[in-house]
Amino acid sequence: MFQAFKMAFRDLGRNRRRSFFSALAVGIGLGLLILMASFIAGEMDNAINSAIRLKSGHIQLRAPSYDENKASLKWGDLVEDPERIAAQVGGMEQVKAATPRLYASGFLSTGDESTGVQIIGIDPASAANDPYREGIISGSYLTADDREGMLIGKPTAEKLNLEAGDTVSLSVNTANGNVDEQTFTVRGIYTTDTSSFDSSTIFMPIAKVQAITQTENHASTIFVLLKDTAATDGVVQALTGSSLEIKTWRELNPLVVDFETMSQSYISLFYLIILAITASVIINTLIMSVYERTREIGILSAIGMKGRRIMGLFLAESALLAVGGVMLGLLIGIPASIYFNQFGFNIGNMGLTGFVVADTLYTVLKASDVISLSIITFVVTILAGLYPAVMASRMEPVEALRAEK
């Protein structure tokens, strides 16, 4: 075995440039696979975490008849006495924050410009609203007793040319089906670095939203954040028996969950394409080596070397290329993934609906992905060398010697 690898190493050294670029092709393929896997892992983690943090929470309690797509404001579709219920849920050990939220739709306008918005009435002091408190880039945050202020997202401010302190007109649908219009002051401009969310969402104290929509002492939902996502099912079981409907983050974000499932199938297809290209390079390299060494193979056969040993010789060459390629791939893929984990890759606002996608993608490098992809690349490279190895082992000594003349 050692002799076979020694001869294989010598044979690869005959054409160092070709051998290096063949190993480099394997390395680039593995590097791309590692980088792609880390981007997929990072984006799925980000999409789920952003959806939970900004949109759905881990759990929501709401009236059985409530339809989030319609943002109904009828009292029968809302949660009555939400502060009391939120306080009860918030007392559970696994709960980080439980707070009522009231959703309404309306139009924000200033001068000749207007845009449709989703209005979310919040308790400004709740820890569930930290992303907006921490995301203030201009002006100030809300207070619970503020009756004239609102927070708007950075994209909305840019679209309507608004600054903190400006006044805007807000038209809101009310519980009785009418439209109420009032003037408000932009207290602050926030960003969550998620344009798909920031561009259509404004925040106001829940007491003011209840007043303008005529839904006093009612909320659309009790928004619940947990200390650990893994505790979701346990908290749901503890809440079972409530007259309210209980929804988990999985049920509230079906598109994200389905996309995560489908992405694994699509990413596997990309993996196969990259590995197929890598395998073709190895096959081409070793076939060229077979043709260049036809007379040598004939001599080895003539002096008694068995076909299986000749095949083993070429498989040893593909194994050395695989080792070199995997090492190069790790040197390419791991630093690239670490770089994008630190600095990210900005994609801007992709205009997706149903997804809370951050403007910047960050990679998440998982040891399991690195190990599995390295093993797969190594095995594929070995298998790619199987056809040239078999071809070399089946050469007839006489024909091989004549072919060189």
Q: What is the structure's pLDDT at 118?
A: 92
Q: What confidence category does residue 67 fall into, taking pLDDT thresholds of 50, 70 and 90?
A: confident
| Partners of 95 in beta bridges | 226
Closest by Cα among 159, 347, 357 to 253 = 357
Tell me the range of 298-307, 356-365, 393-402 where mean pLDDT is highest: 356-365
> How many whole angstroms separate alpha carbon 380 and alpha carbon 382?
5
Cβ-contact 131, 54 below 8 angstroms? yes
| Residue 42 banded pLDDT, cuts 50, 70, 90 | confident
* pLDDT tens figures, 6-30: 766 677 777 788 888 888 989 999 9
Res 267 pLDDT > 80: no
Q: What is the mean pLDDT of residues 233-259?
A: 86
Separation of alpha carbons 184 and 149, rounded Å:
6
Which DSSP string corresponds to 106-147?
A: EEEEETTEEEEEEEEEE-TTSGGGHHHHHTEEEE----TT-S
Coil vs helix vs strand at 271: helix
Query: Is 281 or 207 the better-scoring residue by pLDDT?
Result: 207
Q: Is 241 helix (H, G, I), strand (E, B) or coil?
A: coil
CB of 52 closer than 8 Å to CB of 230: no
Count CA atoms within 13 Å of residue 85 on its CB side: 26
State both tokens at 31: 């590097």
User: Looking at residues 298-303, what average pLDDT do you find?
Assistant: 67
pTM of the model: 0.76
For 217, which DSSP code? Answer: T
pLDDT at 335 over 90: yes
- How many Å apart are CA 253 and CA 386, to the nearest integer? 47
pLDDT in tens, 85-142: 999 999 999 999 999 999 999 999 988 888 999 999 999 999 999 999 999 999 999 9
**What is the pLDDT, as a whole number, of residue 309?**
77
pLDDT of residue 350: 56
